[in-house]
Structure 1
């Protein structure tokens, strides 16, 4: 890709002649050296401002044209070598940037007569130097040279895309300056003066060398910055859920935007964790700081939250144990976290916060409410004191969890940012129908999605749909030998009521086996729950923490075949430890809906 840069900076003031301007000898003979030092100081500081490849080359051209040369263009190897990796050097140079003064600009051109068109010197778009050719050796050597000898003129002709050496400007009017980094050759800069100004001098080679050296270092800095940013972004995304679950009764969407002002990985994370009873845990957190340590702590906390969620603890208990775990890790980093638990059957929401920003609940009628959740202390402080609050979560409502990067900036405080977020959500829901969840996430981000972010942004949105009570059946049963038969009768009657007669036989058999296994270990009433959504799900809970394992029974065994049968008949099954014991569940696909005709 070639980036054509229009025009350059105006010529330096008359009191500060650019390098290459004829200066008289005499008592002030030291003045040219002072001018060159001043020019190099300004030029190298300008080149150092570039934050990426194009910016660095842009600043080189603006510093060189017209103060030092009339035309400048740069070829870079493709691909560019990065770091200390070794291997075969790339063999292709591609034109990356070019700039030249206008022939109609008398101030830039000087006092001489206008030449025919000395500034329209072409540059080759692609150059493939021979591995043992003069151009390759010149670039490897790393020293700027004049292209005024037969061999060097042919090397310059390659860069100009010329078919013959005579097309190269005669005399000391073209400098080839290799861009030599710490470990690799990155490319070359070609500097050309037209006939309307003096030829380059030996001192100008030193200037060109300094310009090329600082440009090469700037290019390496930019490449390393871009690589570190890509690695950090990849690392961050691998620590986030690759996809969100699809639990019944709720739809989920998320966004993650890394900071645009740092290449370091952040500690923002979100998660959605299915729980027994068709509930779902919604989690968002933010480890303080931007570093690999922050990312590592984030990974540890996210894993701990997933483990604690599997125990089916209330939100405040999850945060309490998470805080204890963070204190045991002994890190000086703290984190904020918000843990919400949604029950689609009862349509209720339990929320607890550890110093995190309050979530926003968008009601079906368009009202946007900032939930009042006791903030608690951040994770890692060790003070505990977390509280859970319960609120109604009607079907059609949307909960938005977010990190502070969404609402905090240098121009406004957090409270103003939360209020602005609430206003955006309310405006997005002002129509007759609620906006699609993905569109709502985009509206929540607003202009922040376009860049200029001071901090990472994590966003998790949940649209509550609920589960109709008539699709759920729930019973408590005493742990007695007769309970398995009772469970079969209840299952048969319920499936008949739901019109699922084709599933009765297999479901009865599996319910009987799972309930019989629960009766063996339970000391308190067991629970049986049937749920009909997009699948038929059965859950059997008891107070024993012993999780059943499937094994192949021998011919002489009287039992041990129950879970084997479940494994063969169910589409999926599993067992989950909870705070009150365990839950064994299995799922079956619903029969195909009848077709017309």
Structure 2
């Protein structure tokens, strides 16, 4: 009975009494909630944490943060449901505290992780449970910890620039236990300085390089492959063999003044040797050091070996990447033809991962009859093989299109060509033919994203394009059917094609990326080139997927007419109920601007009847044109073009009829009207005069 009278202790309080806290990490919104006990584990006060995981970074030593990131990344990418890890936290008094985390990974129905829930606890007391270790064992553990830290830090370094970033930042100095650092790379018979902690030397691949004289300790260690340890650095800096070095006139980075001006007392000049070749030198500078023990020398030489292997791998990678990017560039068209009545801009971003080469491509093709063909596609894979296939497929598709075949035939032949290459790769693409004189677009797609269109009033839309299977697969499965979709691109509208790298982010549905793209197109600048820069740079950096991106922007030149005969165009989509309302507003504003406000009601009435007839009785949308016809008496002409071959006919409805009065109303308000054939469709027109209906 006495136990029943004890005060209740909640679950949170029980965790806190055992120095445990809980956390809730939302992967999609990138927020991490910590309870009060969890904040105490990280030695944080309530007002010092804002829910951003990056706020915890200063509490983690760099090598500990990277090791923890690696553990979490392996668990998430490996499909595991939980993970656990020990790591160290820096408390505000400077001491390090052992900490343990145990977490559960929550995934949605598709297996995509979206949330991590777990506990974090102060594990420092667990160290007292282990027996004391000998000094030799402690030294070996220290050496192992340092080597593991720098190995993990360099494990993600792919390029030479990545290696220099890892070495030269503040975390790099802490991993090495040094106060300063310099890195040189052997280039021919000289050594070039590429990294200096605390001083910017630009990127490693940016010329000019800073060549060190052979008599300088760093260059000497690299070229002779012999390490040198010095505890009299000030005297060394004053000697003639350590002269002042300037990288360039506009970058006064110097190694001699750097070594002496920072108050360093000792240095280790280490050769970087890989595959029996000297590839560079590493200098570690120290303050307050009076000697190097055998253990210190062993650690320095071990670190140099790890850096040498990483640097050698990075140099080889940069060489392969340079070859791959050169191959990719040679496969894409060098020049984009120009066309009267349209602006076309293309952009390509290489991938951030792998060898920065892939199968994405674009092309612009001059076609017979004043037409232009545009295509954006993606060959499966991110390697030189994908780039080689892309080049062959691009040339073949260009040849099929140049022969004058319709879009569906072009893709069918391209699919057969891909199969004949005897490759297991497939490709997706969207191909469109545009008649710049009429604005008619005939588009087909093969397993690819459709186009996005920005209308003259700023609205954007994704036209529905019926699609076929990807190229290659369509032939393999005997389904070489690529249905064409006809669109109308009126003057002033913009047509955008891209590959999925511009709209995809790992862990998010592609529709979210498509929404971001639509917003960027809607709010972006006018003109093809400014809009292409806005999309390619902004969205590619936002998603950071590492995928390559091909982008094509076609902007049809506006057609305002002349000062004496102005003109406007408007596209009304069949699935857009707001189009009629917006069209009425556009017509009113145009007539007011043209100083013909008396015609607003009649023109709006006629336009409404003509557009409703198209939207109700045809299978497509309509293009409206309003223009001033100059002459002795200025007239306003209204055109509504559609794709139906059925002409309107005058009817005499009875009193109870609910339709059939459209042409009667147009006949009543317009001076005259008529119908003209337009290819596979027609254009209904009517004219108005400011003085009233003509006889």
Q: Which of 485, 489, 514 does residue 418 from structure 1 map onto?
A: 514
The CA distance in 1 between the partners of 2:149 and 2:558, in whole Å, is 66
Which residue in the other structure is 2:86 paired with?
A: none
2: CA distance, partners of 1:69 / 1:76: 19
Q: 1:37 matched to which residue of 2?
A: 144
Shift in CA distance, 155/409, structure 1 to aligned 2, threshold 3 Å: same
The answer on whether the counterparts of 1:279 and 1:343 sit within 8 Å (CA) in structure 2 is yes
2:213 aligned to 128, 152, 162, which one?
A: 128
2:347 alignment partner, SS class: strand
Shift of 1:31: 3.3
Q: Cα–Cα, structure 1 residues 289 and 348, in superposed 2: closer, same or farther, change >3 Å?
A: same
1:97 and 2:196 equivalent?
yes
Structure 2 unpaired stretches of 5+? 1-60, 63-89, 99-131, 200-209, 245-254, 562-695
Quote how far apart the aligned CAs of 1:29 are.
4.0
Is 1:140 matched with 2:223?
yes
TM-score by length of 1: 0.60
- What do you get for the CA RMSD once the two structures are aligned? 3.9
Indicate the residue corresponding to 2:376 in structure 1. Answer: 284
Whether the 8 Å CA contact 1:399–1:461 is kept in 2: the answer is yes
Q: How does 1:331-410 map to 2 (within 5 A)?
A: 331-381=423-473, 382=475, 383-410=479-506
1:158 equivalent in alignment to 2:241: yes
Out of 212, 224, 239, the position equivalent to 2:331 is: 239
Deviation of 1:278 (Å): 0.7
Residue pair 1:64, 1:72 contacting (<8 A) in 2 also: no
Among 273, 288, 296, which residue is 2:388 paired with?
Answer: 296
Structure 1 position 372, deviation (Å):
1.1
Structural mapping, 1:457-536, within 5 Å: 457-465=549-557
Measured in 2, the distance between the counterparts of 1:134 and 1:174 equals 10
SS in 2 for 1:140: helix
Distance in 2, Cα, partners of 1:298 & 1:72: 47
After superposing the two structures, state which structure 1 stretch, 52-61 or 292-301, moved more.
52-61
- C-alpha contact 1:57 1:215 (8 A) present in aligned 2: no
> For the residues of structure 2 that align with 1:238 and 1:147, how far apart are their CA atoms?
51
Once the two structures are superposed, residues 12-51 of structure 1 have per-residue CA deviations (whole angstroms, 9 ceiling, x without a partner) of: 9699xxxxxxxxx996544323332333222333344434
Q: 1:439 to 1:411 in 2, by over 3 A?
A: farther
Q: Kindly tell me: are residues 442 and 30 of structure 1, through their superposed partners in 2, closer, same or farther at Cα, counting changes over 3 Å?
A: closer
TM-score normalized by structure 2? 0.52
The number of residues matched between the two structures is 407
Give the 3 Å change call, closer, same or farther, for CA 144–450 of structure 1 in structure 2.
same
User: Looking at both structures, which has the greater relative contact order when contacts are Cα pairs under 8 Å and sequence separation is at least 6?
Assistant: 1
Give the distance between the partners of 1:369 and 1:153, measured in 2 at CA: 69
Of 496, 521, 529, 1:438 maps to: 529
**1:224 pairs with one of 282, 306, 316:** 316
Q: Secondary structure at the match of 1:396?
A: coil
Deviations 1:230-268 (A, max 9, x none): 333332222111121112332211111112233241111
Distance in 1 (CA, whole Å) between partners of 2:327 and 2:238 is 44
